[in-house]
Amino acid sequence: MRPFAYVAPGSLGEAVDVLRDAVPGTKVLAGGTTLYDLMKLGIETPPVVVDVHRLPELTVIEAGPAELSFGAGARMADVADHPVVRDEYPALSESLWRAASQQLRTMATVGGNLLQRTRCGYFRGGPEFPCNKREPGSGCAALEGHDRTHALLGASDACIATYPGDWAVALLAFDAVVDVAGPRGERPVPLEDLHVEPGADPAREHTLDADELIVRIRVPATPAGRGSTYLKIRDRESYAFALASAAVALTVEDGVIGDCRIALGGVATRPWRAEEAEHVLRGAPLTAGNARHAGEIAFAGARPGIHNGFRVELGIRTVADAVRIAAERATR
């Protein structure tokens, strides 16, 4: 790990001031469960680290009648175990407790979790592997390599790395908004606009400016929250990244689906909203065939590579099963 300067601002305003005057490459530290790993690997080499994990403004959790609000510095474990989140929005809770080990959940923050970087082995493997995300213009070793866990959706000729997170997928299904702060003030960013597909510039992963940080995450209240689930399929039941996952939230009345939200994880270069799949289910009878059809629609644009084609069918079944689980909860 390279030497770096360490700054611990005493307030959010002071943190914004530090970022305003920071040298290029400065990084914000919250839980540290991703940044430290990348620094040890030499992938992240910040000259300055700004530690915000002690700022009380960033740890507030509020569950009001109109929206849920989570400070960016709130711990994953605390949000997952909040009674309103656990009982009224199970997909949010499940996405957190299925995302990491208990040790990590008690350290990692919900804001930092949104910005975690890919687990692509070529990205993390070192300079012997070309990676456009790590070194722009060097190439993508995964394109002709072992791509079993790489993206089926949103990939480009420059990068097929999968977005690894779970929390962002569930938030996307609930139309969450991220509030970010910087020297130009505070601004809301819809979660769907936070992450970007790699295109020709895989090194750019999100729409935050270098001098901005996430302050809070807001989730609009919805009756579909109770009828929701986050289903994650992985190689082992203990802590592992998704081969395919689906966040589904819906309402059901007299056997007919009303509101319906579907987001996919583990299969795309960013959290992926399956809007066409939602459309085919809204107003449709709740049947196994319709749930399966929604999964097929969700993966209609998949572009499998050499070793990951099996995950298309896996993803379809994951969506169908998640619809069934969500419907059961919606009709209790």
Nearest to 215, CA basis, from 12, 4, 18: 12
Residue 1 pLDDT class (50, 70, 90 cuts): confident
* DSSP state at residue 33: T
Topology at the third CATH level for domain 1-53: 3.30.43
**Alpha-carbon gap, residue 247 to 287, rounded angstroms:** 18
- Enter the tokens of residue 49: 């680290």
Instruction: Give the pLDDT confidence score for residue 118 in this predicted structure.
Output: 96
pLDDT tens readout for residues 53-105: 999 999 999 999 999 999 999 999 999 999 999 999 999 999 999 998 888 89
Strand order in the sheet with 185-190: 61-63, 67-71, 213-220, 177-182, 185-190
182 Cβ contact list (under 8 Å, min separation 6): 16, 19, 20, 209, 211, 212, 213
Kindly calculate the radius of gyration of the chain based on its CA atoms and give it in whole angstroms: 20
Instruction: Give the pLDDT confidence score for residue 238 in this predicted structure.
Output: 75
**Alpha-carbon gap, residue 68 to 76, rounded angstroms:** 15
Q: Contact, 251 vs 257, CB < 8 A?
A: yes
**Alpha-carbon gap, residue 70 to 95, rounded angstroms:** 15
Q: What is the residue type of 308?
A: N
25 Cβ contact list (under 8 Å, min separation 6): 45, 46, 47, 48
Residue 282 pLDDT class (50, 70, 90 cuts): very high
The reply to whether domains 1-53 and 226-330 share a CATH topology is: no
Q: Contact, 98 vs 232, CB < 8 A?
A: yes
Q: ∠ CA 121-156-168 to the nearest 5 degrees? A: 65
Nearest to 76, CA basis, from 208, 148, 185, 171: 171
Query: Is the pLDDT assigned to residue 164 strictly greater than 90?
Result: yes
Q: What is the mean pLDDT of residues 122-143?
A: 95
For the question of whether the overall pTM of this predicted structure is more than 0.75, the answer is: yes
Residues in the chain, how many? 332
Instruction: Give the pLDDT confidence score for residue 145 in this predicted structure.
Output: 96
Query: Is the pLDDT assigned to residue 128 strictly greater than 80?
Result: yes
Query: Is the pLDDT assigned to residue 152 strictly greater than 80?
Result: yes
Nearest to 69, CA basis, from 50, 89, 40: 89
| Residue entry with tokens 């203990």 | 238
% of the chain surpassing 70 pLDDT: 100
Query: Is the pLDDT assigned to residue 332 strictly greater than 90?
Result: no
pLDDT tens readout for residues 290-301: 999 999 999 999
Using DSSP's 3-state secondary structure scheme, residue 227 falls into: coil
Nearest to 52, CA basis, from 213, 271, 197: 213
% of the chain surpassing 90 pLDDT: 95
pLDDT tens readout for residues 7-34: 999 999 999 999 999 999 999 999 988 9
Query: Strands 48-51 and 27-29, how do they pair?
Result: parallel
pLDDT tens readout for residues 174-193: 999 999 999 999 999 999 99
Query: Is the pLDDT assigned to residue 3 strictly greater than 80?
Result: yes
Q: What is the mean pLDDT of residues 131-150?
A: 96
Nearest to 123, CA basis, from 114, 136, 132: 132
Q: Which CATH superfamily is domain 226-330 in?
A: CO dehydrogenase flavoprotein, C-terminal domain (3.30.390.50)
Residue 288 pLDDT class (50, 70, 90 cuts): very high
Instruction: Give the pLDDT confidence score for residue 160 in this predicted structure.
Output: 98
Burial class of 105 by CB neighbour count within 10 A (0 to 12, 13 to 18, 19+): buried
* Domain assignments of the chain as residue spans, ordered by start: 1-53, 226-330
Query: Is the pLDDT assigned to residue 129 strictly greater than 80?
Result: yes
Provide the mean pLDDT of the chain.
96
pLDDT tens readout for residues 232-276: 999 987 778 999 999 999 999 999 999 999 999 999 999 999 999
Residue 287 pLDDT class (50, 70, 90 cuts): very high
- Enter the tokens of residue 212: 């901005």
Nearest to 62, CA basis, from 38, 42, 78: 78
